[in-house]
């Protein structure tokens, strides 16, 4: 899902540690359940907080006095640990601690809902107080690694000897969790068994290289096809870009928060779905449980729906700001019984439903009239199921995460990426009927029918798809098959589903063709340039990729921030050199033969570049060249090291003079060319970089004339 990792310590349980999982999550808990059930019943009857605290305190004394110490086995060797300096052990680092084990699965929305509770618990009780929270990743999908744990989230609280104390299953039990943890800390503090030593925390996110995008979740294009909106989820912001990648607006970030107002001050928390209509950008502010609106013309951000806390209401019907909602994951503009574009469809992942937020007055299929601002359920009982039904409120969805509207007849439907059932579903815009398109299986309670199989209808298999994009130009539906690391295409008429792009290996490669391209859990996609390209949010690669459906090639959308754009448009001066971006991994590297030159000689480098047919240089993000000599900066000191590329129809000559006093006999010149080009029709734009490495051999014998070399490359 969001792919933004929790900040507490966590361990991935592999096949080698199934015993740990079985004993900690099943076997030993079986012995605990009858003992704790008596406490649970008593707590339900307790009339005051003081009575509850005494009941838990007496329960702890009782199990301490019993002969059987329900001790869990230690973590096995060889597990993957995150956010720690070294693997942790119940017998070493965690000895003397009250440990909260959070058994979660990476894709589970209910598990994500638990994170704020655990964060607040850590704020109340620190490691020095004797409390440690450890997330235990036990996966549902093969992509997350296998373990026989089937109930998520489950919290298990251990005492300082690794002894079982409590378990809490599911979300929504914050008070019970806090009660149990506080009582355990109090009890073992009195017995003197707690220790306050550090366990060695080192956050994984701090080791990630800096990137302009961080786990981008969704991408959308405006109706003109000239602007893109990107949910830069890990940076808690929304970017509005030109199709060449230039940042037009950046709203929110870099920290999470909740704030309306001017776009320079607004804050979001892990935004996901985005949609754009004119100068209005609609945002699913997922972890704030809000729907927000960005008015670019007025430069204001406001809240349209939600109250800033996770809601449990599965009916809705209140005005937006008074209507609590739960983890909205995607948005799509549509029409419902009124003027065009009068409704915002919301994939409400937290309640496994599709909701409608009315931007103007309207009416749902089989529903009553709704006033502007009303936020109400459209589809889904709220039960997590793969249940299709002619009656929208009786259908069951399972964490819907992607939406796309196909308004014209004969389609007239809403396509839904139903992630936890690994299916693509359709919702009729005529009567609300929910039908199966591809993936999954017929049993509505089986959410484990996933895989990676091409085929028709139920014979096709997907794995946790997060995004869908319908193309009115081709009549095809494109799917971000996230855990298979592929982009797939579905023909809604035949229900045939097959691979469009992606090797199936979690990696980062551009091709040369669709089959050789690689993605890493792509989370969203949209159709651009009149159906000729797909923009893909390649989430775990922190990139937006462009799939050209005509040439079947993949390129990167080079996101250029304002200071880099300004630097690229300014003329070079030695006093104020151009700011050169870091060379991307996708850059083509060309090794040139060594070139002999003498001190005082000039080196004439003729740069010969050719663009793909039907494309031209874009002026929105000017192309440029940059000259460098890493480790031998003396070679270019005081000389022109950068300039614009405004015409590729003829060679561009760049001149450098070898200083009269050479400090090294074999320096290397590097010529980088950053080229931004678009299709001649003004559609898809892309950035390509070529880097020429030119070794020099400095001959101390003086020579007359210039030394010439040609550096050529066809993009």
- 688: CB partners within 8 A, 6+ apart: 555, 586, 588, 675, 677, 715
Q: List C-alpha distances in Å: 589 to 432, 514, 650.
A: 54, 22, 22
Q: Return the DSSP state at 708.
A: E
SS3 (DSSP) at 98: strand
Among 180, 205, 230, where does a domain finish? 205
Q: How far apart are CA 185 and CA 165, in angstroms?
A: 12
Are 598 and 704 within 8 A, CB to CB? no
Q: How far apart are CA 365 and CA 368, in angstroms?
A: 8
Could you tell me which residues are beta bridge partners of residue 137? 12, 104
Per-residue pLDDT at 32: 78
Q: Crossing angle of helices 109-124/174-191, nearest 10°?
A: 40
287: left (phi over 0), alpha (psi -120 to 50) or beta: alpha
Q: How far apart are CA 631 and CA 155, in angstroms?
A: 54
Q: Crossing angle of helices 49-65/28-45, nearest 10°?
A: 150
217 in the same domain as 201: no
Q: Which residue has the tokens 């609590």?
A: 324
DSSP per-residue codes, 384-425: ---B-BSSGGG-B-S-EEEEEEE-STTT-EEEEEEGGGTEEE
Does a structural domain hold residue 561?
no
Are 508 and 540 within 8 A, CB to CB? no
Could you tell me which residues are beta bridge partners of residue 477? 470, 490
Task: Tokens for 203, please give them.
Answer: 């956050």
Among 556, 577, 609, where does a domain finish? 556
Does a structural domain hold residue 486?
yes
468 in the same domain as 575: no
Could you tell me which residues are beta bridge partners of residue 345? 332, 356
CA 518 to chain centre: 16
Longest dimension (CA), the chain: 99
Backbone angles phi, psi at 353, to 5 degrees: -140, 170
Where residue 18 sits, what CATH number does that domain have?
3.40.30.10
Among 182, 205, 228, where does a domain finish? 205
Per-residue pLDDT at 67: 61
Q: Crossing angle of helices 49-65/174-191, nearest 10°?
A: 50
Per-residue pLDDT at 507: 93
Does a structural domain hold residue 1?
no
Predicted TM-score (pTM) of this structure: 0.71
Q: How far apart are CA 44 and CA 104, in angstroms?
A: 26
Per-residue pLDDT at 118: 87
530: left (phi over 0), alpha (psi -120 to 50) or beta: left
Task: Tokens for 95, please give them.
Answer: 């000895």
197 in the same domain as 292: no
- 507: CB partners within 8 A, 6+ apart: 485, 518, 519, 520
**Nearest alpha-carbon partner for 158 in 183, 184, 182:** 184
Q: How far apart are CA 83 and CA 525, in angstroms?
A: 31
544 in the same domain as 605: no
Per-residue pLDDT at 567: 32
CA-CA-CA-CA torsion sign (296, 302, 308, 312): negative
Task: Tokens for 548, please give them.
Answer: 């050209």
Are 538 and 481 within 8 A, CB to CB? no
199 in the same domain as 176: yes
237 in the same domain as 133: no
573 in the same domain as 667: yes
Q: Return the DSSP state at 483.
A: G
Does a structural domain hold residue 562?
no
Per-residue pLDDT at 288: 97
Does a structural domain hold residue 183?
yes
Cα-Cα end-to-end distance for the chain: 35
Half-sphere exposure of 176 (CA within 13 A, CB side): 20
Per-residue pLDDT at 541: 93
Where residue 414 sits, what CATH number does that domain have?
2.120.10.30
- 573: CB partners within 8 A, 6+ apart: none
Does a structural domain hold residue 197?
yes
Half-sphere exposure of 303 (CA within 13 A, CB side): 22
Angle at 573 between CA 572 and CA 577, to 5 degrees: 70
- Enumerate residue ranges in the chain where pLDDT < 70: 1-28, 67-69, 138-150, 204, 207-210, 562-579, 619-621, 679-685, 702, 704
Q: How far apart are CA 110 and CA 87, in angstroms?
A: 27
Please give, one letter per residue, the 3-state secondary structure of 582-607.
CCCCCCEEEECCCEEECCCCEEEEEE
The total number of structural domains in the chain stands at 3
Q: How far apart are CA 658 and CA 701, in angstroms?
A: 13
* Paired sense of beta strands 247-252 and 154-158, if any: unpaired
Rg (CA), the chain: 29
**Full domain range(s) for residue 604:** 568-714
Q: How far apart are CA 436 and CA 54, in angstroms?
A: 52
250 in the same domain as 185: no
- 133: CB partners within 8 A, 6+ apart: 8, 9, 99, 100, 102, 118, 121, 122
DSSP per-residue codes, 332-381: EEE-SSSSTT-EEEEEEGGGTEEEEEESSSEE-TTS-EE-TTEEEEEE--
Does a structural domain hold residue 2?
no
Q: Which residues of 479-504 are buried (b: 16+ CB within 10 A; e: fewer)?
A: bbbbbbbbbbbbebeebbbebbbbbe
* Paired sense of beta strands 413-418 and 80-82, if any: unpaired
SS3 (DSSP) at 143: helix
Does a structural domain hold residue 4?
no
Q: Return the DSSP state at 24.
A: I
76 in the same domain as 169: yes
**Nearest alpha-carbon partner for 186 in 57, 371, 377, 343:** 57
631 in the same domain as 536: no
Residues in the chain: 715
456 in the same domain as 581: no
236 in the same domain as 380: yes
Where residue 702 sits, what CATH number does that domain have?
2.60.40
């Amino acid at each position: 899902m969001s792919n933004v990792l929790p900040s507490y310590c966590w361990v991935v349980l592999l096949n080698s540690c199934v015993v740990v999982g079985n004993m900690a999550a099943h076997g030993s808990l079986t012995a605990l359940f009858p003992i704790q059930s008596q406490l649970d019943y008593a707590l339900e009857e307790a009339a005051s907080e003081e009575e509850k605290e005494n009941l838990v305190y007496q329960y702890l004394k009782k199990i301490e006095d019993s002969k059987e110490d329900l001790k869990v086995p230690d973590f096995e060797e060889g597990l993957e640990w995150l956010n720690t300096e070294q693997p942790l052990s119940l017998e070493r680092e965690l000895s003397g601690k009250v440990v909260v084990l959070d058994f979660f699965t990476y894709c589970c929305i209910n598990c994500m809902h638990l994170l704020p509770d655990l964060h607040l618990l850590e704020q109340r009780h620190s490691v020095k107080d004797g409390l440690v929270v450890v997330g235990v990743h036990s996966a549902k999908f093969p992509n997350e690694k296998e373990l026989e744990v089937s109930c998520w989230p489950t919290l298990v609280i251990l005492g300082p000897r690794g002894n079982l104390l409590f378990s809490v299953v599911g979300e929504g039990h914050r008070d019970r969790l806090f009660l149990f943890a506080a009582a355990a800390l109090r009890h073992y503090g009195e017995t003197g068994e707690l220790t306050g030593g550090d366990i060695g925390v080192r956050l994984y996110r701090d080791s990630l290289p800096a990137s302009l995008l961080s786990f981008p979740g969704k991408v959308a294009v405006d109706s003109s096809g000239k602007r893109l909106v990107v949910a830069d989820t890990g940076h808690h912001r929304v970017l509005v870009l030109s199709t060449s990648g230039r940042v037009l607006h950046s709203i929110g970030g870099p920290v999470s928060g909740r704030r309306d107002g001017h776009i320079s001050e607004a804050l979001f928390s892990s935004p996901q779905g985005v949609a754009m209509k004119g100068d209005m950008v609609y945002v699913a502010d997922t972890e704030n449980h809000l729907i927000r609106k960005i008015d670019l013309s007025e430069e204001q951000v406001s809240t349209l729906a939600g109250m800033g806390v996770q809601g449990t209401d599965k009916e809705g019907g209140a005005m937006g700001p008074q209507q609590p909602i739960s983890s909205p994951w995607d948005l799509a503009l549509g029409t419902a019984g009124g003027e065009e574009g009068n409704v915002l469809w919301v994939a409400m992942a937290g309640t496994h439903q599709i909701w409608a937020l009315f931007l103007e007055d309207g009416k749902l299929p089989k529903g009553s009239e709704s006033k502007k601002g009303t936020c109400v359920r459209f589809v889904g009982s709220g039960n997590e199921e793969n249940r299709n039904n002619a009656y929208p409120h009786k259908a069951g969805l399972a964490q819907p995460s992607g939406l796309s509207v196909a308004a014209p007849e004969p389609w007239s439907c809403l396509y839904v990426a139903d992630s936890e059932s690994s299916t693509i579903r359709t919702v009729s815009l005529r009567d609300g009927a929910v039908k199966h398109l591809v993936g999954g299986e017929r049993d509505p309670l089986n959410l484990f029918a996933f895989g990676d199989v091409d085929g028709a209808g139920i014979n096709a298999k997907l794995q946790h798809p997060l995004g869908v994009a319908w193309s009115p130009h081709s009549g095809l539906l494109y799917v971000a098959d996230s855990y298979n690391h592929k982009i797939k295409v579905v023909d809604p008429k035949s229900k045939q589903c097959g691979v469009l792009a992606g090797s199936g290996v979690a990696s980062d490669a551009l091709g040369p063709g669709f089959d050789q391209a690689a993605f890493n859990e792509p989370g969203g996609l949209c159709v651009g340039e009149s159906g000729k390209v797909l923009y893909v949010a390649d989430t775990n690669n922190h990139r937006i990729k462009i799939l050209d459906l005509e040439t079947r090639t993949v390129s990167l959308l080079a996101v250029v921030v304002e200071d880099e754009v300004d630097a690229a448009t300014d003329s070079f001066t030695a006093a104020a050199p151009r700011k050169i971006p870091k060379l991307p991994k996708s850059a083509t590297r060309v090794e040139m033969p060594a070139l002999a030159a003498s001190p005082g000689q000039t080196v004439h480098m003729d740069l010969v570049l050719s663009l793909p047919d039907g494309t031209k240089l874009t002026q929105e993000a000017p192309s440029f060249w940059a000259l460098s000599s890493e480790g031998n900066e003396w070679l270019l000191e005081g000389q022109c090291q950068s300039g614009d590329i405004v015409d590729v129809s003829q060679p561009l000559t760049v001149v450098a003079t070898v200083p009269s006093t050479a400090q090294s006999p074999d320096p290397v010149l590097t010529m980088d060319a950053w080229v931004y080009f678009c299709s001649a029709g003004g559609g898809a734009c892309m950035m390509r970089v070529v880097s020429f490495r030119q070794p020099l051999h400095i001959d101390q014998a003086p020579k007359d004339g210039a030394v010439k070399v040609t550096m050529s490359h066809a993009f």
